[in-house]
Structure formats: structure tokens, C-alpha cells
Amino acid sequence: MASTATIQPRSALHKARSPGRPKPCRARVVAAAATVSTAATTTAMAAAERTRAPAASVARMKSTGRRAASVASMWRQVQGSHDWDGLLRPLHPVLRDEVARYGELVAACYKVLDVDRSSARYMCCKYGKERVLEEAGVAGAGYEVTRYVYATPDVAGPPSTSSWVGYVAVSTDEMTRRLGRRDVLVSLRGTVTQAEWAANLMSALEPARLDARGAHPDVKVESGFLNLYTSSADSGGGGGMGSCRDQLLREVSRLVTSFSKDHPDEDMSVTLAGHSMGSALAMLLGYDLAELGLNRDASGRRVPVTVFSYGGPRVGNAAFKERCDELGVKVLRVANVRDPVTMLPGALLNEGTRGFLAGLGGDRYTHVGVELALDFLRLRDPASVHDLGAYVSSIKAETCGKVPNAAVDGSRGGVLAKAMEFVEGQRAVAFAWKKAALQMGGLVQTLGMI
């Protein structure tokens, strides 16, 4: 049976999801000081008008039609320069295509991962960097893979064997012209191995300690994700090249510096895309790059860092979110409202907690960024709620504001509508039980019982 898919406005989802959910942030413009000269004031006001949330510019692009709007003409908005204001409701076609495109580049990680236990390349990529995208079915993606990335969780014992979790790539000259900037891409898969699952269950918050001066001890992240990001091994698939963090920081900063030197007139972006666990790693990397100032090009200009998260969990506390906002790390969370992973960790105590539980105090998990909410479920495949392929299909469907599977005219439509109403009722009951189980699990984790 076909899946049902909608992209719903946040107002429509408010009743279905936990109350008190934070509203997406909005760009703010600071007015020019009254003490400047009249000419300077006029200039400052004009500059402020240009940097205001781009509602007018987005409206102009929409009014001129899809053909006039291109990635190159609005790439900064697509990358979140104004927190996607005016692009989500309804979903702008250029943003839709870009979110789907990055999702497919993450899906490539699953297609080329060797999961055959008898293979000599078990938990490594089956192909070399030169042909991996072609073998993954995205030959025309317009990127050149420059490095493979490995992670080594040590939660199940001493770190030993590393697993391939994704790749770093850079846009080709042709793709750069289409995108309007040189794009450095990091693509990261979700959980596969038992050690990775074990890391995901380590839900205690601990200080990130990724800033060089230790100036932000209040910034805390999930201990399992941090372990996966920072642990290293001297042997295994990673070739003794250090932790996942070391590999990523070295390669991304190398590409930013190298291409900005060779092409000083080009604009540049850093895009971090991940699914599930991979989105958590992407979040940590985005914060890390900005905190260390490694997103600066050869001339010292700040290169925008954007995270596209697909079915991603919460990663850190409120201080982590606030610091990401201060550093200008932009995050678009593509989240299916039926996907339990997006409710974890902190299913019980989180940014939306109200009432008695809110009085317990202490750190609580907080989502970062702006949410693009989806609503889909394949009735014959409940696990599809977290499937990356289903996420991408839902985005491509472009059903924003439409009712999925509209009833057929006549009596047949009436029967179908009643059948769907019954299924929805059964599904609502099942989802309520699932949510209750998640909340109990969140409480157990919060109390440190596991």
C-alpha cells in the first residue's frame, strides 16, 4: 500500500505534538545607533533592510515562477541565512529539491556499505573514492569524494575496529557554477553496528569540552554521541588516522583553506548532512568547526555551516543549542512526526516539558534549529517512519498543504474514507502506546537506571 505523506505547517502539528514546542528562530536586525551621522544612518538602514528576514525577496522569487528561482540565486537562504523564513510554509520548490538532493547523498552511504560478515571489507565501503557515488546510483551528483570517514565507539570495550560512517566531498567546477558557490559536503549514515547502538543508549549529558580554551563548561551533549565522535583506534578500517572528529576537522578545514586560496573570488559553504546517528555526528561537527574557527577561509571570511538532519535525535542541552545559535550554525531538522528517534533522548524531560516534571530542574535535552515537519507512514511497513528513503520520497512528493490519498468520487470513495478512518484510529492507539513507552524509557534513562 502506498505511503501517506504530508508536509504540515507547524500550527497544524501543534496539537499532535508536545505542547510548548519552541518556535523557529527568526533573524533580527539591530537598528543603527542614533549618534551616527545622517548619511551613515541612511546607509545603515539600507543595509539593515537588505539583511532583514527575506520575506519580500522570497515572495518576489515565488511571483516570478519556478524557472526564475534557482539554487545559485538564493543559495544563502537555502543554507539557512535567515533560518528558512518564508521557505517552509509552503515548501519552496528550490529548497525542496535541495533537501531531497542532500538526503540522497546521505542514502548513498547505506548503498555502498559492506555488511557481509564474511567479507574482508566488512563495515567498510565496497568501492574506492573515485567510483563510490556512481556505484551508489548518484553518478551525476556533481561532487568529488576526497576522504572516507571512520568511527570507533569504545562503549562495548576497548576501541578496536573502526566502521565506515560516510565521506567528505567537494562540488565540481560545473556543480559549483550551478550552486552559486563551492560546497564542501560531509555525508554521514545512521546506526548499523551493535557498538553504535550501545553508544546511542548512553543518554547521560556530559560537558562537550570541544572548545580549545574550555570556556563553555555548561555546553553538554549526549555521552554516547560524543564517545563515537571522539574515540579513536590504532588499527582497523580507519587506518590509525585518529578519531572521527580528527578526520573530519582535518579534511574539512583543508578543503576550505585550499579552495579559498585557489579560487579567492568564489563563495563557499560547508554542508553537513546526516541521518539518525549521522545527524548527531553532523551536529557535533558543525558546533566543533564553528567553535574552533575552522570555518574561516584563507582570507579570514566566515564560511557558513549548515546541518541538514534527517530523522535526527536531540544531541545536547539548552546551552549547546544557545552556543550553536551564537556561532551561526544553521540546522534544518527534517523530522517525521511519527518517527520515535526524533523524540529521543529526553522523551520525558526536554525543551517542551511543562507542569510537574518541569519542576525537577537540571539539564534537559533541547533540539537545535528549525524543523521541517513531515507526516508519513506506510501502513504495511511501520518501520518506514524512520527510513531515509521514505524521508526523501516524502520530500519529493511535495504534498505541502494537500490531503494525501484523497477519496475517489462516489460510493467507493465513501468506503475508502471509512476504511482509512478506522486505520487511523487503530494507528493513533498504537502510537499513543509507543509514545508512552518512549516516555517511560526517557524517565529510566534520566534517572540513570540504565
Is residue 176 within 8 Å of 205, Cβ to Cβ?
A: no
Alpha helices in 65-193 (DSSP H): 71-78, 93-111, 132-135, 173-179
d(CA 448, CA 204): 8
Query: If you search the block for the grid coordinates 535525535, which residue do you land on?
Result: 313
Here the cell at position 268 is 563557499
Catalytic residue among 92, 216, 367, 386: 386
218 is catalytic: no
d(CA 318, CA 331): 15
Rounded to the nearest angstrom, the gap between the alpha carbon of residue 251 and the centroid of all alpha carbons in its chain is: 20
Catalytic residue among 81, 187, 203, 276: 276
263 is catalytic: no
What are the backbone dihedrals phi and psi of residue 393, each rounded to the nearest 5 degrees, phi first?
Answer: -65, -40
Within 8 A by CB and 6+ apart from 83, the residues are 24, 25, 26, 27, 53, 330, 370
The closest alpha carbon to 165, from 228, 101, 104, 222, belongs to 228
Beta-bridged to residue 274, according to DSSP, are 188, 309
Rounded to the nearest angstrom, the gap between the alpha carbon of residue 349 and the centroid of all alpha carbons in its chain is: 22
CA angle 405, 408, 414 (to 5 degrees): 100
Here the cell at position 441 is 524509557
Within 8 A by CB and 6+ apart from 446, the residues are 203, 346, 348, 349
The closest alpha carbon to 101, from 268, 273, 248, belongs to 273
Residue positions counted in the chain? 450
Strand, coil or helix: what is 370? Answer: strand
- Rg (alpha carbons) of the chain, rounded to whole number: 22
d(CA 450, CA 439): 14
Strand, coil or helix: what is 158? Answer: coil
Is residue 424 within 8 Å of 129, Cβ to Cβ?
A: no
183-215 as b/e: b if 16+ CB within 10 A: bbbbbbbbbbbebbebbbebbebebbebeeeee
260 is catalytic: no
Rounded to the nearest angstrom, the gap between the alpha carbon of residue 337 and the centroid of all alpha carbons in its chain is: 15
Catalytic residue among 83, 267, 339, 363: 339
The dihedral sign for the CA sequence 100, 106, 109, 115? negative
Instruction: Report, as residue numbers or ranges, the catalytic residues.
Output: 276, 339, 386
